[in-house]
Copies of this chain bind each other. A is one copy, B any other.
Amino acid sequence: MTDSYEPTERTIPTRSRDRASYDRAAVHSILDEGYVCHLGFVRDGAPVVLPTLYGRIGDRLYVHGSTGSRPLRMAGSRGGEAPGLRVCLTVTHVDGLVLARSAFHHSINYRSVVVHGTAHQVTDPEERRTALDALVDHVVPGRSDDSRPANAKELAATAVLRLDLGEVSAKVRTGGPNDEPEDASLPHWSGVIPVRKAYGTPVPADDHDPAIPLPGYLSVL
């Protein structure tokens, strides 16, 4: 396994090529910081983009859903020789608002990963369990060990799709505004407003037992 993904015609951007990266560690780092992706697929010739959770194990991404949901049904039934579902899975983190003196040079600092490929239903019971743990732990690391695992009925109601990381690229913008030199003296504030994800105080469930303390893996969020 090399340290980089192979660029393809689809993953080489038409613009801002200096922002693109195929570095495996950079791609994994961006993927691991998030848990909500936007999954695109084609239905009756038209694009559909839905937000959904994902998990990563090595070079495999997993998404899950009800066995009755559209994209999971479209990926084929378990055990069959389905062709799979062509997807584009995109993860984006916004890091800052870039305010330039000119409207044109306003921008966003961001890190994104775009994955192209074909998603297949996972039928192996052990891979399904591992994938479902990864999905829970992607949102809250350590949580899968501190919750009741899915029972047979729940497993039967859940479809898991796998998307191998192969045709994938990251795109990153950092730094301040790129104003035109002749705009430097304009009387407009210019710079970056940092943006980040913040967590609030945990809200226990209505029927939560007060004797159960907040677990350590939540206090580090």
Residues of A within 8 A of B (CB): 10, 14-15, 35-36, 38-43, 45-51, 53, 66, 68-70, 86-90, 92, 94, 97, 99-104, 106, 108, 110, 112, 114, 116, 132-133, 136, 139-140, 143-144, 146-151, 154, 158, 176-177, 179, 183-209, 212-215, 218, 221
A-B contact pairs, 28 of them (CB 8 A): A36-B94, A36-B110, A38-B92, A46-B116, A47-B88, A48-B114, A49-B88, A49-B89, A53-B108, A99-B147, A101-B148, A103-B144, A103-B148, A104-B150, A106-B136, A108-B139, A146-B188, A184-B207, A189-B208, A189-B212, A189-B215, A191-B205, A192-B205, A194-B200, A194-B201, A195-B198, A196-B197, A197-B197
Q: How many copies does the complex hold?
A: 2
CB distance from A155 to the nearest CB of B (A): 9
Chain B residues with CB below 8 A from A176, complex form: 203, 205-206
* A190 partner, pick from B45, B89, B154, B204, beta carbons under 8 A: B204
Chain B residues with CB below 8 A from A112, complex form: 51
CB distance from A65 to the nearest CB of B (A): 8
Interface of A is mostly: mixed
Are B15 and A66 interface neighbours, CB within 8 A?
yes
Are B40 and A48 interface neighbours, CB within 8 A?
yes
Are A99 and B140 interface neighbours, CB within 8 A?
yes
- Bound Cα distance from A212 to B108, whole angstroms: 22
Are A108 and B36 interface neighbours, CB within 8 A?
yes
Q: In the A-B complex, list the 4 residue pairs whose CB atoms are closest, starting with the nearest.
A: A194-B200, A38-B38, A40-B49, A198-B198
- Bound Cα distance from A133 to B104, whole angstroms: 10
* Residue of A36, A45, A46, A204 contacting most chain B CB atoms (<10 Å): A46
- Bound Cα distance from A195 to B196, whole angstroms: 10
Are A200 and B195 interface neighbours, CB within 8 A?
yes
- Bound Cα distance from A176 to B116, whole angstroms: 34
Residue of B with least CB distance to A132: B103
Chain B residues with CB below 8 A from A101, complex form: 147-148
Chain B residues with CB below 8 A from A187, complex form: 209, 212
